[in-house]
Amino acid sequence: MNIVKTSIPDVLIFEPIIHGDDRGYFMESFRLSHFAEVDPSINFVQDNQSKSKKGTLRGLHYQLQFPQGKLVRVLSGEVFDVVVDIRKGSENFGKWVGTVLSGENKKQLWAPAGFAHGFYVLSDFAELAYKCTEYYHPEDDYSLLWNDEDIGIDWPIMESDPLLSDKDKNANSFANASLFQ
């Protein structure tokens, strides 16, 4: 597996080595030893999966009391996946990284604890799977405004306003949000 650094050194892209032939393909989607090189304390405790239709934007979600590191991949379809550094005191505080993840490219994005995460669905549907380093706690679920000018995410061209949950419609601005210490 190739591990690619991004403009924020803690955020990584994992590119699996794909062994394919006329029957299909095989790849390792996770290997603990790769993460031991990055941070030996990483321990995944929960796997999540979601399916969303084109134009859906989920996020930017984060946790404060029980922060989750997330290893995100797309099983089918295509998304623009984004993480924002919300760690006060970080030299990358308020900066973001975005990349296209798809069932075709099979890339995975590592978003460490202390980052807000979100994605926008580019294909008709997209199915995501992600490993988490902490259990989900509904009382510790926060959302940053997806189009906050202080963050300035360069989302792909949208044909219309994104489809948002009520939580994401009412998300906090970066300036008014409680953020990771």
> Which one is catalytic: 61, 62, 117, 142?
61
**Which sign, positive or negative, has the C-alpha torsion 135, 137, 140, 146?**
positive
Q: What is the CATH number of domain 44-169?
A: 2.60.120.10
Query: How confident is residue 181, by pLDDT bands cut at 50, 70 and 90?
Result: low
Per-residue pLDDT, 79: 98
Quick: pLDDT tens for 39-61: 888 899 999 999 999 999 999 99
Q: Model confidence over 80-95: pLDDT tens digits?
A: 999 999 999 999 999 9
Instruction: Name which residue leads in pLDDT, 38 or 161.
Output: 161
Domain spans of the chain, in order of start: 44-169
Catalytic annotation present for 61: yes
Residue tagged 């994401």 (tokens): 168
Model-level pTM?
Answer: 0.92
Please give the helix or strand (H or E) that residue 33 lies within, else none: helix 32-38
From the list 62, 120, 130, 142, the catalytic residue is: 130
3-state secondary structure of 35: helix
